[in-house]
Amino acid sequence: MFLILAIVAIVALYFYGTRTYDYWKKRGIKHDKPLPIVGTNLKQFMQKASMCMMATETYNKYPEEKVVGFFRGTAPELVIRDPEIIKRILTTDFQCFHSRGLNPHKTVIEPLLKNIFFADGDNWRLIRQRFTTCFQYRKIEGHVPHYHCRAEKLQIITEEVVDKEYYDVRELMARYTTDFIGVCAFGIDMDSLTDENSHFRKLGKRIFQRTFRDGVSGALKIMFPELCKNMHLLAPEIEANMKVLVETVLKNRNYKPSGRNDFIDLMLELREKGKIIGESIEKKNPDGTPKIVDLEMDDLLMTAQAFVFFGAGFETSSTASSYALHQLAFHPEYQRKVQEEIDTVLAKHNNKITYDAVKEMKYLEMAFYESMRMYPSVGYLLRMCCVPQYTFPEINLTIDEDVKVMIPIQAIHRDEKYFREPNQFDPERFSDGTKEDIKNFVYLPFGEGHRSCVGARLGQMQSMAGLAAVLHKYSVEPAACSLKEPLPEPTGIVSEGFVGGLPLKITRRVKT
């Protein structure tokens, strides 16, 4: 009897795990043969490849196709290879693809994922409506005093590792960005620069560390979303630590703006305006007009926004700035040009790394853009079809509601169809008169359209200030253990990392 039940269970599981696998075949879309339950995503479920790595592999396997089919578990997804279709998804028909679909279950969402990055539908629209003001130009200018102070501290700790055989610049820049975000977001000196083992640096590391528990829970939620809807993607200690951090700051300010003009203050100011009210992106009245919806700005919602500001803010910026240092180490001719510009600009600003000074560093900006082309901090974009059916007119393909589409940014950035010698680091492809030749919707380090990164400008200025601080006084060069093409971290989910970090040798500059 037990044997019969076991056979029935195995057969049932097989049919459940293969029930959707004719989806792309019926539509004439090329794809790899899926395996039961895991689809074509086995390597990611086993933490042998990140989502970005899987998207890049799929993109490169079918060079003649505009789109390629994929199965994440039993869910059909579509990898997009054509810039015109990308434009349609991100801008032209955005109303049909406004969701990211990063929450495996649409109705049961864990508290910290109710943030501007992970939220979908009306939650996203209302949060974005209210929180976009936090990243307006005048708000970024409010962080001007922090640039010089954090840059000076970064130079001090860089001095401590000068002439060592090697030092991981990924960790160096992560300590800097964690410290910067601590001040800008929470008004707290997190001591990440002076204390390598600070509580906040440990929290930052844990957010993007992919443990066995995290891998299993993530895979189960994708493969069995209904059964695992109450299982959290984030580890309990992350949620607990973020709640304590935000609650402590709020209590210290008596739940009122303190005048620090940091992210917590801005959120408190927004909360004083009351509920967030706006037109629904999902629900309509009988006459076809959007329904009016609202969202309560409670402590938990504020904590969720602080979580994504803290986590994504330091991780993406530290990846971008450290990879720029890595490329400049392997290309000393460009490093010299960057350093000469930094010296010239800072001489006009009393050698202080200010917001205005960083804005003048155009060659540094070119080098930063080029490093973001070669290794974007977020290597893919994910969108989900939000209408019952959608047809891509370019290829006469119709997909159903909830089917996700993936835009493999990293693969597109390295495609020789769009970038000459794509594996060669060349900042001057972003110079005036040349950058205009880059085709639309093939350079997407910050996304594009209504769901592009709201903190892009702040992140870029933070990264460039850190680069200027290091390169003004020091030079970087490959260490004996440095890899010109560092190995991508296979456990990455949203942001990309490197196996073993980015070890470089740092030396004092000898100015002539």
Residue numbers in the known binding site for heme are 453
Alpha helices in 331-376 (DSSP H): 332-347, 355-359, 362-374
b/e map 268-305, b = 16+ CB within 10 Å: bebbeeeebebebbeeeeeeeeeeebebebeeebbbbb
- Collapsing DSSP states into helix, strand and coil, what is residue 37? coil
Task: Give CA–CA dist 461/311, Å, rounded.
Answer: 17
Task: Give CA–CA dist 444/447, Å, rounded.
Answer: 5
Feature table: binding site: 453
φ, ψ dihedrals at 411, nearest 5° = -65, -40
Of 354, 360, 322, 313, nearest in space to 146 by CA: 354
User: What pairs with residue 292 in β-bridges?
Assistant: 279
Q: Where are the beta strands (DSSP E) in 261-396?
A: 276-284, 290-295, 381-384, 389-392
Task: Give CA–CA dist 464/487, Å, rounded.
Answer: 24
3-state secondary structure 448-494: CHHHCCCCHHHHHHHHHHHHHHHHHHEEEEECCCCCCCCCECCCCCC
**Which residues, in sequence order, are CB contacts of 492 under 8 Å at separation 6+?**
50, 51, 52, 53, 208, 210, 379
Q: Which residue's entry shows tokens 């000076």?
A: 152
Report the DSSP pairing between strands 397-400 and 276-284.
Answer: unpaired
**Which residues, in sequence order, are CB contacts of 79 under 8 Å at separation 6+?**
55, 58, 59, 67, 68, 69, 70, 405, 406, 408
Of 233, 290, 479, 492, nearest in space to 379 by CA: 492
